[in-house]
Structures are given as structure tokens and as C-alpha cells.
């Protein structure tokens, strides 16, 4: 491998092969090397067909540390010349094992094969050994810790025990339990922590509950303040005041709805207790009244029904319901004017006679009936106070 | 730079014809190849040396499968530039 193809040898062989003088060959070679340098400077790479490529590779600057002083300094970047052989050439050269010697490579291959087998054997074993070795140190590692911990508490009670106690047999078991609680202390510490944590959690929960309750109370106070205001006032002030306050409210209600308040008590009594009775009495009386009325103006031959006055009802609405039009309401007034003083304000529950009208009485085209209707209407309106 | 340009430059410098330069270059390459294949180091005066380096066989691990194989050794062409050229190009 130490063989060299020197410059002079190259020059000689080149001259011989190319059929030129050594001078010319020398000139060519020197020109080649010079031009290679110049070309590298220009293009940073020179390709020579049939041989390979000379390249100029840039090496980036990097930081380093002075080993002695520990100072940091940068190694400046530089260019590096690299030769990359052509693919064919590379394969030809790489395929060679040991250059000229044709016998040695085979021997080498044999020895290499043996070496490789050895290496593979080592590689195959080494991971197992490593695997076996790794768990071994790991397993003992945790063991020594408890071993070291355990003896520590034990000797103390052992030394303490013999001193005070003359009886060794019964005392000996005594220290034995003592070391036991100590490990328990170690185990119980996390329990204590847990307890503490639980206490903290409990306290936190209680606080949250209290806060929520307070908030609810505040809300309730704000919403019910107006309603409770009267009660609070009554509590703050004397009882008579509260009594005065309550009637004041009722009076205000009366003022707001005077009509209802005035009628309702009567209504309820009349409707609940004596409605039917009143109707019955009225029916009995009506016969006499009809007799009395008939001579006057109108003759109502028959009654459809006797209906107690409803709340929020009017004679006009009843007229519409029974006769089909509001304009016939004066007939209703006329039939009931014996006990109705004001047709605009009839007490609820007052029985109203609803007479059956003849076709002539309903005939709006008839001037006579219209005249009577008009008269009755004016009469009723007069009673209303309009 | 390609071979053509190099030939032109050399021809210009030495005053030889391009054909002759091409012939010289080809024979030169042939000589270099042969000597490299023979395991010889080729010295180019004032430029550097093309050497053959022997790479020993080694075990390689497939990164994905973890398979261990032996990569055969090989001879590699290495260019060792001359010191003056090296320094010249270093700070270029």
C-alpha cells in the first residue's frame, strides 16, 4: 500500500502512452494542477470526466472552549478540498480488496468472516448479559434502603430495653413491638396528610355552603323586603299600629274596587244561600206583578226564563243573547222595572225576568214597536241618570 | 467547471491543441485510475495526492428493525491536498 506513483513516474508514463515528449507531458500536468486550483477558486468545483470531481467544501465556523482557561472562542470557518470519484471509478476502486495482492484478500475474507462471527457472537450475548446485569443492580437497590432504615429504629429500643428491665424474657418481646410502630409512623404520615387534606376539603366545603346560604338569604331579603316590610314594621311598632295598617290596606282595596266590595258580600249570600229561594219567591210574586204590570203598557205573555244577574253582565247583552240584538234591552228593563231602579247598575244575583217577545214586538220595521222601544229606552236611560 | 472548460484553459496556457490536451487528460485519467485501482497513491506535485484508504468491515444496526449486519470493508479514494494549496484555499 505504500507504493506511490510519483510525479516523475506519472510524467514518464503519460509521455509514453500519449506519444508526446516528457516536457510536453510535464507542461500539461503542471498546467492541469494550476488550472485546477484556479478553477476551484472560481467555481468551487471542477469536474474531470473519467476521474471524478474536485470540490471546495465550506466548513462553518463553530464555537469551542479553551480547555485550559475555559474561555470560549470561535473556530473560524474554512474551505476544505474534497475529491469525489466518478461512480464507475468509485465502484472499481471500492471493489478492490487489498489492491494488487490477489491471494491475500481471500485469506483476509476468511479471517474477516471468523472475526465477524466472533463479533456477532459477542453482540448476541452482550445484550443478554446486559439485560441480566441491569435487573440485578435494580433489584438490590430498593432492598438496602429498607434494610438501612429498619436497623436504625431497632437498635434504639434494644439499647433502652435492657437498661430498665431486669427480666429479659418478658421484656425482650416488648422492644419488638416498639420498632413496629415506628414503621407505622412512616406509613401513617401519608394518612395524616390525607386526614389534613380531608379536613381542608371539609372546611372548604363548609365555607362554600355558608357563603351560598348567606347569598340566598340576601336574595330572599331583597325579594321579600317589600312583602315583609309591613310585618317588620308591625314588629318594630306597637300592635295597634299594625291593626291600623291592615284596615288601611283593606280600605284602599275598597276604594280601588268599590263596586265589587259593595256587592260581593251580598252576592255571595244571595247566590249561595238564597238564590233558589229568591227565585222561587220571585216566581210566586211575579204572577201578581205581571198582573199589575200588564194593564200599564206592555203585555208579556210568556216568560222564557228568570235568570239571576251575573257579574259583568248587562241587560243589553242578555237582550242579544235571548233576542238576537242589543236594541231590545228596554223590554228587559220594562219587564223588571218593578224591582230595578237603575238599569245601568243592577245588583248581581237580582233575578231578571226574560219575557218572550212577539214577532210584532221584534219587528224593527214597525214604527209602533220602534216608538215603544224608544220610549222604554229613554225611560231606562233616565233611570240610569244619563 | 466542466472538463471542456478545463481543456480549453489548459490548451490556452500550454499552447497545445485542445485535442492533444484532451488526449493527454484522458490518458492521465487512465493512468490515475489504474494506479488507484492497484492501490497506489498518486502524487500530483503542487496540488495534492489521491490516496486509497482501506475501510474495515463493521457491524451496522438497522435503525428501524434493530437488525445487525456486517458492512463489508472497502477501499476509498481520498484526496489529500498539498499544504500550500490547502492553506491557499482555506481562507479563500
Q: Which fold has domain B41-92?
A: HU Protein; Chain A (4.10.520)
Whether A275 is covered by a domain: the verdict is yes
In chain A, how many domains are there?
1
Whether A135 is covered by a domain: the verdict is no
Whether A329 is covered by a domain: the verdict is yes
For A57: left if phi > 0, alpha if psi spans -120 to 50, otherwise beta; the answer is: beta
Interface list for B 4-43 with A (CB within 8 A)? 5-6, 9-10, 13-14, 16, 20-21, 23-33, 35-43
For B29, nearest residue in chain A (alpha carbons): A51
What number of residues does chain B have?
92
Residue A111 distance to chain B (closest CA, Å): 12
| Chain A interface mutation, best of B77, B82, B87, B91, highest count of A Cβ atoms under 10 Å | B77
Query: Which positions in chain A touch B16 (Cβ < 8 Å)?
Result: 24, 27-28
Burial grade of B7 (CB within 10 A; 0-12, 13-18, 19 or more): buried
Low-confidence ranges of chain A (pLDDT < 50): 98-105, 127-189, 239-273, 287-296
Can you tell me the distance from the alpha carbon of B26 to that of A48, in angstroms, rounded to the nearest whole number?
9
Whether A330 is covered by a domain: the verdict is yes
Beta bridge partners of A55: A45, A82
Residue by residue, DSSP assigns A111-137 as HHHHHHHHHHHHHHHHHHHHHHHTHHH
**In this complex, which of B26, B59, B74 lies closest to A123 when CB atoms are compared?**
B59
Can you tell me the distance from the alpha carbon of A32 to that of B8, in angstroms, rounded to the nearest whole number?
11
* Grid coordinates of A122: 459477542
Per-residue confidence (pLDDT) for residue A99, from 0 to 100: 39
First to last CA, chain B: 17
Burial grade of B32 (CB within 10 A; 0-12, 13-18, 19 or more): buried
Angle at A173 between CA A168 and CA A178, to 5 degrees: 120
Lookup result for grid cell 484532451: B22
Whether A59 is covered by a domain: the verdict is no
**In this complex, which of A31, A47, A89 lies closest to B33 when CB atoms are compared?**
A89
Whether A40 is covered by a domain: the verdict is no
Per-residue confidence (pLDDT) for residue A212, from 0 to 100: 95
Q: What are phi and psi of A339, to 5 degrees?
A: -120, 5
**In this complex, which of A3, A50, A83 lies closest to B40 when CB atoms are compared?**
A3
Helix/strand/coil percent split, chain A, to 5: 65, 10, 25
Structural domain range at position A341: 258-384
Distance (Å) of CA A374 to CA A166, A301, A359, A369, A377: 135, 21, 17, 8, 5
Whether A68 is covered by a domain: the verdict is no
Beta bridge partners of B68: B61
Can you tell me the distance from the alpha carbon of A328 to that of A377, in angstroms, rounded to the nearest whole number?
9
Mind listing the pLDDT tens digit for each residue in A172-215?
444 444 444 444 444 444 556 777 778 888 999 999 999 999 99
Query: Which positions in chain B touch A83 (Cβ < 8 Å)?
Result: 50, 77-79
Whether A326 is covered by a domain: the verdict is yes
Amino acid at each position: 500500500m505504500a507504493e506511490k506513483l510519483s510525479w516523475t513516474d506519472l510524467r514518464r508514463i503519460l509521455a509514453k502512452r500519449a506519444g508526446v515528449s516528457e516536457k510536453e507531458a510535464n507542461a500539461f500536468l503542471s498546467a492541469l494542477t494550476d488550472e485546477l486550483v484556479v478553477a476551484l477558486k472560481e467555481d468551487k468545483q471542477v469536474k474531470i470526466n473519467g476521474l471524478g470531481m474536485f470540490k471546495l467544501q465550506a466548513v462553518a465556523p463553530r464555537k469551542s472552549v479553551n480547555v485550559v482557561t475555559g474561555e470560549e472562542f470561535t473556530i473560524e470557518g474554512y474551505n476544505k478540498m474534497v475529491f469525489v470519484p466518478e461512480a464507475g471509478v468509485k465502484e472499481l476502486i471500492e471493489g478492490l480488496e487489498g489492491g494488487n495482492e490477489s491471494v491475500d484478500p481471500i485469506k483476509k475474507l476468511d479471517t474477516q468472516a471468523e472475526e465477524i462471527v466472533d463479533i456477532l457472537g459477542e453482540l448476541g450475548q452482550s445484550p443478554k448479559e446486559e439485560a441480566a446485569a441491569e435487573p440485578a443492580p435494580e433489584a438490590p437497590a430498593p432492598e438496602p434502603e429498607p434494610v438501612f432504615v429498619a436497623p436504625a429504629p431497632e437498635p434504639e429500643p434494644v439499647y433502652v430495653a435492657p437498661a430498665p428491665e431486669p427480666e429479659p424474657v418478658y421484656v425482650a418481646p416488648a422492644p419488638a413491638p416498639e420498632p413496629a410502630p415506628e414503621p407505622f409512623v412512616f406509613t401513617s404520615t401519608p394518612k395524616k396528610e390525607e386526614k389534613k387534606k380531608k379536613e381542608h376539603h371539609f372546611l372548604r366545603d363548609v365555607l362554600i355552603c355558608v357563603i351560598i346560604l348567606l347569598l340566598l338569604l340576601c336574595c330572599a331579603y331583597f325579594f321579600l323586603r317589600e312583602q315583609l316590610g309591613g310585618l317588620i314594621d308591625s314588629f318594630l311598632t306597637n300592635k295597634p299600629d299594625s291593626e291600623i295598617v291592615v284596615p288601611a290596606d283593606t280600605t284602599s282595596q275598597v276604594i280601588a274596587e268599590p263596586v265589587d266590595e259593595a256587592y260581593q258580600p251580598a252576592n255571595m249570600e244571595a247566590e249561595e244561600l238564597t238564590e233558589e229561594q229568591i227565585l222561587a219567591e220571585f216566581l210566586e210574586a211575579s204572577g201578581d206583578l205581571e198582573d199589575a204590570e200588564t194593564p200599564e203598557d206592555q203585555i208579556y205573555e210568556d216568560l222564557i226564563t228568570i235568570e239571576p244577574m251575573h257579574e259583568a253582565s248587562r241587560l243589553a247583552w242578555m237582550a242579544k243573547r235571548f233576542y238576537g240584538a242589543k236594541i231590545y234591552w228596554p223590554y228587559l228593563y220594562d219587564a223588571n222595572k218593578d224591582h230595578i231602579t237603575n238599569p245601568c247598575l243592577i245588583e248581581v244575583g237580582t233575578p231578571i225576568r226574560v219575557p218572550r217577545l212577539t214577532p210584532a214586538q221584534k219587528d224593527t220595521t214597525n214604527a209602533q214597536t220602534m216608538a215603544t222601544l224608544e220610549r222604554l229606552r229613554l225611560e231606562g236611560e233616565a233611570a240610569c241618570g244619563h | 467547471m466542466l472538463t471542456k472548460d478545463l481543456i480549453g484553459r489548459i490548451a490556452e496556457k500550454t499552447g497545445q491543441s485542445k485535442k492533444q490536451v484532451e488526449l493527454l487528460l484522458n490518458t492521465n485519467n487512465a493512468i490515475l485510475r489504474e494506479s488507484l485501482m492497484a492501490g497506489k497513491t498518486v502524487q500530483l506535485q503542487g496540488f495534492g495526492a489521491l490516496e486509497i484508504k482501506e475501510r474495515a468491515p463493521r457491524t451496522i444496526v438497522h435503525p428501524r428493525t434493530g437488525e445487525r449486519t456486517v458492512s463489508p470493508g472497502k477501499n476509498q479514494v481520498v484526496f489529500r491536498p498539498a499544504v500550500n494549496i490547502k492553506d491557499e484555499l482555506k481562507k479563500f
